[in-house]
Chain A
Amino acid sequence: MKRIALLGMPNTGKSTLFNRISGASARVGNWPGITVDLLSAKILLGGHIAELIDLPGIYDLHGFSEDEQVVRHFLTNNPFDLLIVLLNSTQIERQLSLLLQLKKLGVPIVLVLNMADEARRAGITIDTENLAAALALPVISISAKYGEGLPKALTTAAHILNEQKATTNPKSINLLLQEESLIEREMEDLIQKHVQIPATLTDYTTDKIDRILLHKWLGLPMFFAAMFLLFQFIFTVGGPLQDGLAWVLDLVRSSMLEPLFSTSPEWLKGLMLDGIYNGIATVAAFVPIIVLFFLVMSMVEDSGYLSRAAFLMDALMAKMGLDGRGFVMMLMGFGCNVPAIMGTRIMRSRPMRLLTMLVIPFSLCSARLQVFIFMIAALFSTKHAPIVLFSLYVMSFLTMFLTAVLFQNQYKNSEPFILELPPYRFPTPRQIVLRGWQEVKHFLNRASKFIILGVILVWLLTNFPSNVAPASVGTYAGQIGVFFGPILDPIGINHELAIALIFGFVAKEIVIGALAVIYGMQGDALMSQIAGQIDWVQAMSFMLFTLIYTPCLSTIATIRNESKSTAFMWLSIAWSLGLAWIVSFVFYQGARALGY
């Protein structure tokens, strides 16, 4: 099978093009370093099946951060038939250097000049025909985001693939990975002859927005205000949607499933309805909020604001041994901690990577968000709800900052901080829908993996041994609750919540599913049952514990893989468990002492 690789500097639109060609949904974002690992897809090209590979961005062939090494490793270990080199047309005058380096490798190349739309708006004209002749390469101008020029790029690629006989030899490439100092002169010569760039190139819109968002004193307050408004928006729009879905799911149970199981044995009915269905329905009701959350998240990621957040926060982060990029990873962690931890690959210094990885698990991810929305809806008035949720986000930042401050001396580093500031962009509806759908798929995938199994296990624990009342102290779940009592009683967590917490160790999505099973209820009934049993102080203590103690098994596995150290993984687990307990203890006992 023919193999084609997409290569270019970070943030040039490789993943966008990859998605366009293959119909896949690789993550796209206006941030250099979104892709940190290889992705491949099979495509049909010129009558053959070929493998298309999306690579992380590289600035040159000398980089040694983890994501750049992924590219070097690929180039030197895998034979391939064609490189599609992507350059950002608006920055061609500096990005051409990468092409010239790659050209020295002597591999078949198609040069794709992406972002033709932006180049046009900026008044940059590139004489592709003569540039192609000068480079002795096919050069095609495209816009991966809008699909312009794509057919031509594909036919050119197909043509090269069909003509050529031997694939590249990885060994010879290895030898050639050395610098060529002539590149600079060659580059200038080419640009002068074939590219016209207006003398003063300014993207006025970006500049205008930056004047406000990067304001010396108002920038940071505006950032936090915007965050508050965004979560308020998700909460007010998503809340009713969630209620609606919960109502529908309840209706499905009472009007369809209950009649269906009316003749089956009691245990089967219990397992299917009170166990699996209740558990999954409770979790599924959160799908609208999660989708909404990721739609907002994808707009933020694609807007280019993340690099601005890095700019605003870098000075503060530097005091904690991190840098602005670490702050961006924290924000990405709000979606899911796993890609955020992998995103640290753009950092070269190992101590800084480790410190950032130690911090990210405290980032309030979307799975924990579900638990909080549920508990908040059960125990707080709609007036207080947004404030409670926001305070949990503040807590999330505070625990991250505290962790960094406490551990920064163990992870001293001197990583340089240099980052591109891309122009503001707005995702197309297609990109937004694709991302939303991707997250639903991800959610359903996790649901089928963990939640069903977890929910069944919880049901078994709360219903056996069968000679005691379900969910009573005599059941296995009750016994586990009693066992952990000495640790969890001082922080106000009762036995029912304790079981949910234990399963939450695997994935936070299970927590509310487990609660539904433990109480044998769903929706409003479940919420009022919980509200009758615990007060807001206990609920808050439970939420603080949920926020701080280890996100999920996938995150732990990712920490292990990325740090390549089991000891570091255990440190992360131990620290978060310890911190969770201390924070909940201080909060719970403090609130009780104050008379709440």
Chain B
Amino acid sequence: MQPLSQLATGQQAVISAIEAEESLFHRLSALGFRVGKPLSIMRRASFNGPLQVRLGTTDVILRASEASHIKINPI
């Protein structure tokens, strides 16, 4: 188990836990971040910018600091 922020670009993974305070948790879950869901990182913006994450049919961008609340298992 590792934070999403450390996942390599292009590598597939499955969400194993979401450790965020309530409002962040709700927003993440509405955007499709739920335990057991597969995802991958499409690209990272330069200068340590946000990650583009693909979750099923949705693409989401989020900062590494937010991504570190999401724990994943690479597959």
| Partner-B contacts on A (CB < 8 A) | 9, 59-60, 62-64, 90-91, 93-94, 97-98, 122, 124, 184, 197, 201, 210, 214, 216-217, 219, 307, 310-312, 314-316, 318, 324, 348, 416-422
CB distance from B15 to the nearest CB of A (A): 13
Task: State whether B45 touches A417 (Cβ < 8 A).
Answer: no
Contacts of A216 in B (CB 8 A): 43-46
Contacts of A307 in B (CB 8 A): 61
Apart from A416-B27, A418-B27, A420-B58, list 12 A-B contacts with CB within 8 A: A64-B23, A93-B56, A94-B55, A97-B30, A197-B56, A217-B46, A311-B61, A315-B50, A416-B65, A416-B66, A418-B31, A418-B60
Selected A-B contacts with CB under 8 Å, 7 pairs: A94-B32, A98-B30, A311-B52, A318-B63, A416-B63, A420-B31, A421-B52
Closest 10 CB pairs of A and B: A59-B30, A315-B49, A94-B32, A421-B59, A315-B47, A418-B62, A62-B26, A60-B30, A417-B63, A416-B66
Do residues A93 and B24 form an inter-chain contact, with CB atoms below 8 A?
no
Q: Report Cα–Cα, A63/B28, bound state, in Å.
A: 11
- Complex: how many Å from CA A212 to CA B65? 26
CB closest residue in chain B, given A32: B31
The B contact surface, by secondary structure, is mixed
Q: Is the CB of B50 within 8 A of A311?
A: yes
Tell whether, in the assembled complex, residue B63 and residue A94 are in contact, meaning their CB atoms are under 8 Å apart.
no
In the complex, whether B6 has a CB less than 8 A from a CB of chain A is no
With beta carbons under 8 angstroms apart, the residue of A63, A197, A217 that contacts B27 is A63
CA distance A348 to B24 in the complex (A): 11
* Complex partner residue of B49 from A60, A90, A311, CB under 8 angstroms: A311
B31 and A417 form a contact (CB under 8 A): no
State the CA gap A91–B23 with chains docked (Å). 21
Contact of B46 among A93, A201, A315, A418 (CB under 8 A): A315
Once A62-B23, A93-B57 are accepted as A-B contacts, the answer to whether A417 and B43 lie under 8 Å apart by CB is no
- Give the interface size class of chain B: 20 to 34
Contact among A9, A210, A217, A421 for B30, CB-based, below 8 A: A9
Q: A60-B30, A418-B27 are in contact. Are A316 and B58 (CB under 8 A)?
A: no
Q: Once the chains are docked, how many angstroms separate the CA of A481 from the CA of B15?
A: 67
Report the minimal beta-carbon distance from A213 to chain B, rounded to whole angstroms. 11
CB-nearest residue of chain B to A414: B65
Complex Cα–Cα for A348 and B21 (A) = 14
Given known contacts A94-B31, A97-B29, A315-B48, A419 and B56 CB-to-CB distance under 8 angstroms: no
Are A60 and B61 touching (Cβ within 8 A)?
no
Give the interface centre of A314, A416, A419 by most chain B CB atoms within 10 Å.
A416
Partner of A91, one of B46, B57, B61: B57
Contacts of B45 in A (CB 8 A): 214, 216, 219, 311-312, 314-315
Residue from A64, A94, A216, A312 having most chain B Cβ neighbours under 10 A: A94
CB-CB under 8 A from B30, the residues of chain A are 9, 59-60, 94, 97-98
| Contacting residues of chain B (12-34) with chain A, CB-CB under 8 angstroms | 22-24, 26-32, 34
> What B residues does A217 contact at CB under 8 A?
46
Q: A32 CB to closest chain B CB, in angstroms?
A: 10
- From A197, which residue of chain B is reached at the shortest CB distance? B57
- Most B-side CB within 10 Å, residue of A90, A210, A316, A417: A417
> In the bound complex, how far is the Cα of B23 from the Cα of A93, in angstroms?
21
A93 to B57 CA separation, bound complex (whole angstroms): 8
